Amino acid sequence: MASENASGSFWMPPQASTIAGDVDALFDFIYYLNVFFFVAITAAVIYFAVRYRRRSDEQLATSQVGHNTLIESAWTFIPLILVIVMFVWGFRVFLDQSVAPDDAYEVKVTASAYKWDFTYDTGAVSGGDLIVPAGRPIKLVMTSTDLLHSFFVPDFRIKSDVVPGRYTTVWFNAPQPGEHQVFCTEYCGVGHSGMLAKVTVLPPAEFEEKLQKDFIDGDIPPAEMGKKLYTQSGCMACHSIDGTRLVGPTWKGLFGSERKLADGSTVKADENYLRESILQPMVKVVESYPPSMPSYQGQLKDIQIDGLIEYIKTLK
Ligand code: CUA
C-alpha cells in the first residue's frame, strides 16, 4: 500500500483509506506525463514556427521531406507503450478498488431523496451517519428507493452511482479514526446539494459498543430524538432551523404560526398539520414553495414523527 498523506495536498483531500495512495499515484503519473508532453509539444511548435518561418516567396512548397522510418516508429511506439502502462496500472487499481476483500464488514446503504440510511448486520439503522470501525475493510451494498444518486467520499477516493432496482458496491479500509464527508454526486433534485452524510471512523472497541447501544432510539426525550432525526432523515437538506430560506420553509417559529397555502387558504401549524405535512406533503403546500417534498410514509415510525414535532416546537 502506498504511504498515507493524512492532511492532503494543494490539489487533493486527505488520503484516509488504504486505496487513496494508489489512486493518487496513478493520477499523478498521468497528470505529470501530460504536463511534460504539453510543455514539450508547445515548445516544439513555437520553435519550429520561428525557425522555419517563410522568409521569401522562393521558399514556398520546396520541402523534400517524404518519409522517416525512425521518427515515425518513435512517435508510434513511445505513446503506445505509455498508453499500455496507463491501462495496466489503471486496471489493477480499478480491480483493487472494485473487489472487496472476503472478510469485509458489510453495511447496506439506502439512498432516497435526500438522505442516506445505513443498515448494519444487527438490524440497526443509522441515518445520516455511517459509523465504521478503523482498520477493517468495509463493503457498502447500495441501492436507491427513488432515483439515481451517487455515493462519494473524496477522502477515501471512492465513488459509485446508487441506482434504484439494483445493487452497486464500493469498499474501503480507513486505518485511522476520524470524520469524513459524504456527498451525493449525481444531480437528483432540489435537495441534491444538501444530500450529505458523514463517515465516522471509530476505534473498533468503541464501534462495537456504539453498535450495541446507540443506534436504537430508546429512552431519549422526544425533542432530542427529533433533533437527531432532523439531520439523520435528511430534513436539514431543505429546512433550516435558523430562519434561512432553503428549498422548503424554515422550522424556526413554525409551530403555531399561520401558514398561507398555495391554494390561497390559511391553516394553523399545529401537531396535525405537521404530521400530515410529513406523511402527505402534497396535501397542503405552503405558498411560494415548490411542491417537492417526498413523503415519509412508512419511513418514519409514529414515535419518530412525535419526536420531530416536539423538536419543531422547541424552535421558537
Ligand atoms: Cu441524491 Cu444528488
Listed residue (180, 56, 189, 198) closest to 112, CA to CA: 189
Taking 60 as the threshold, does the pLDDT of residue 1 lie above it? no
Q: DSSP 3-state assignment of 196?
A: strand
CA–CA separation, 151 and 141 (whole Å): 11
Does residue 106 register a pLDDT over 70? yes
Q: Is the Cβ atom of 188 under 6 angstroms away from ligand 1? A: yes
Give the C-alpha separation, 205 to 199, whole Å: 17
pLDDT tens-digit readout, 237-246: 899 999 999 9
Report, in angstroms and rounded to the nearest whole number, the Rg of the chain calculated over CA atoms. 28
Q: Is 201 in the pocket of ligand 1 (CB under 6 A)?
A: no
Q: Which atom of ligand 1 is nearest to the CA of 192?
A: 2
Give distance in angstroms: CA of 157 to centre of ligand 1: 18
Is the beta carbon of 170 within 6 A of some atom in ligand 1?
no
Model pTM?
0.68
- The pLDDT > 70 percentage for the chain reads 93
Q: 69-98 and 20-51 helices cross at what angle (nearest 10)?
A: 160
- The model's confidence at residue 180, banded by pLDDT at 50, 70 and 90, is very high
Determine the residue type at 1: M
Q: Tell me the H-state helices in the chain.
A: 20-51, 69-98, 204-213, 222-232, 271-279, 302-314
Distance 191 CA to ligand 1 centre (A): 7
CB 2 within 8 A of CB 21: yes
Q: Determine if ligand 1 sits within 6 Å of the CB of residue 192.
A: yes
